[in-house]
Amino acid sequence: MTQAESMSAMSKEMQDCVAACMECHSVCEETMSACMQRGGQAQMQIMRALMDCADMTRMCADMMMRRSSMSAEMCAMCAKACETCAEACMSMPDDPQLMRCAQACRRCVETCRAMAGMTM
């Protein structure tokens, strides 16, 4: 089964959640890279939150795509990691990349919370 066929078998809500998770994962990875390229002492709280969020969103999307029986629980955990990351990114409101990341995290929080309340 191709990824397109797999995605078409999912509900619209699940497709939206997978897409939000993958977008959030990508933006977190880009943000980590941007923070490292700037040099200097990166705030460890932000870097930890970015790493946790990137890992959780990727795992969450993977679990939904394979229809894991633990997807709802993973979505709840993913929402928590994304919320933490968004808050950490918001600690530097003058940084456009961190604000972009916070926005992607907030979108992922919304879709994951919705999925956590649904039977997969």
Does residue 35 fall inside a structural domain? yes
* Comparison of pLDDT for 95 and 119, the residue scoring more: 95
Q: Quick: pLDDT tens for 31-72.
A: 999 888 876 555 888 999 999 999 999 999 999 999 999 999
Read off the pTM. Answer: 0.85
Report the C-alpha gap between 32 and 49 in whole angstroms: 10
41 Cβ neighbours under 8 A, 6+ residues apart: none
Give the tokens for residue 89: 């990114």
Evaluate if residue 97 carries a pLDDT over 90: yes
Q: Which domain holds residue 67?
A: 12-117
Does residue 5 fall inside a structural domain? no
Q: Quick: pLDDT tens for 79-92.
A: 999 999 999 999 99
- Phi then psi for residue 78, to 5 deg, are -65, -40
pLDDT at 41: 59
Report the C-alpha gap between 106 and 112 in whole angstroms: 10
Report the C-alpha gap between 51 and 65 in whole angstroms: 22
Evaluate if residue 28 carries a pLDDT over 70: yes
10 Cβ neighbours under 8 A, 6+ residues apart: 18, 64, 65
CATH number for the domain harbouring residue 70: 1.20.1270.360
Say how many domains are in the chain. 1
Whether the Cβ atoms of residue 79 and residue 60 lie closer than 8 Å to each other: no
Whether the Cβ atoms of residue 24 and residue 107 lie closer than 8 Å to each other: yes
Q: Quick: pLDDT tens for 2-13.
A: 444 444 578 899
Whether the Cβ atoms of residue 11 and residue 71 lie closer than 8 Å to each other: no
Does residue 82 fall inside a structural domain? yes
Q: How confident is the model at residue 120 (pLDDT cuts 50, 70, 90)?
A: very low
Does residue 49 fall inside a structural domain? yes
Does residue 25 fall inside a structural domain? yes
């600690």: which residue's tokens?
Answer: 91
pLDDT at 1: 39
Does residue 4 fall inside a structural domain? no
